[in-house]
Amino acid sequence: MQFSFIKCHGSGNDFPLIDARALSLSDAGWAGVARALADRDGPVGGDGLLLLTTGDEDCAFGMRMFNSDGSEAETCLNGLRCTARLGFEVLGLEQATVRLKTSVAQVARDAELAPGVATVRTVVGPNSVAAADVGLRIEAEQVIEAVVPGLPSARAFTAVAMPNPHLVTFVDAVDEEELVSLGSWCEGAPALIPARANVSFVEVRRDADLFVRTFERGVGLTNSCGSAMAASVLAAGLTGRVPFDAQVRVFNKGGLVRGRASADRVVTISGNATFLYDASVQVDVAAGRAEVPVMHARREDEAAAWRAAVAGLASAS
């Protein structure tokens, strides 16, 4: 089956993005396409597969996101910005309500992070600090800056659902080996959290900047996870590390976003939605294999604008 797609990224989180509004494929079929196109050893590669889907009476359009292992995520904020940008362009919109797997999201074009960097603002949620909503099988009603019983870590975590599940801990310095070990344990769907969880180690840097490193559910150690950055902003507010309603810069290995959390837990994230190239590809859906894509157009100006923005912001941080 042949697909046209846009290779895109949000804060370094890269995806093939398909306009699927006129396509009919089963969930199992889309899972196969995700395994083919988001395979890092394959001809396209990515942190997952994004689909722009049709809207309904309440939403202008929808988004589905399949991880590289074929599982479907409740949300993906870096991917949502890219999908929203495509939705804006094909429908002639500046803002919209978007249908996600289990919720809806508000999205809008925003002031550029840097010259030439397309930027989209998202209101994140609905979120929750209820342990049950995060998927934790514990007696406590919530976990805010506390050790999680049964988790193989003595660190204090804050558990939030964005609505996908996140465990966030603040550290003096990120230990990637420790992060991967704990994330891999959660990835095994233990009895403590059978639906698995995203795990983030977060450093608070000068001027209340945050640096986030995440082991993403269904992906592994990733350079960027949008919902993890949002979860980290909320956790920083809930634990008093960053004042509520303060705008903070959230860095990761892929780049950065602007974030803000309010006392009533409304989280807003603004970040890039960069299109890298347009291509088409033949996919054996059943086998989950893709052929070498045919390139139609490269968007070198956007890629260059993002590189310049990251270099400038990194030197200023």
Query: Which is it for strands 61-67 and 95-99: parallel, antiparallel or unpaired?
Result: parallel
* Residue 122 near residue 84 (C-beta atoms within 8 A): yes
The token pair that represents 304 in the structure block: 């260059």
- Please tell me what DSSP assigns to residue 206: G
| Per annotation, catalytic residue among 8, 59, 76, 186 | 76
* Residue 65 near residue 48 (C-beta atoms within 8 A): yes
Active site residue 76: yes
* Residue 61 near residue 53 (C-beta atoms within 8 A): yes
The token pair that represents 210 in the structure block: 């945050």
Active site residue 59: no
Residue type, 87: G
Exposure string of 153-162, with b = 16+ CB inside 10 Å and e = fewer, is eeeebbbbbb
* Residue 230 near residue 162 (C-beta atoms within 8 A): yes
Read off φ and ψ for residue 113, nearest 5 degrees. -60, -35
- Map tokens 């999205």 to a residue: 107
The distance of Cα 219 from the centroid of its chain, to the nearest Å, equals: 11
The token pair that represents 246 in the structure block: 């303060």
| Positions of E strands within the chain | 2-10, 13-19, 48-54, 61-67, 72-73, 95-99, 104-109, 119-124, 158-161, 165-170, 198-204, 210-216, 220-222, 248-252, 255-261, 267-272, 274-284, 289-290, 294-298
The residues annotated as belonging to the active site are 76, 225
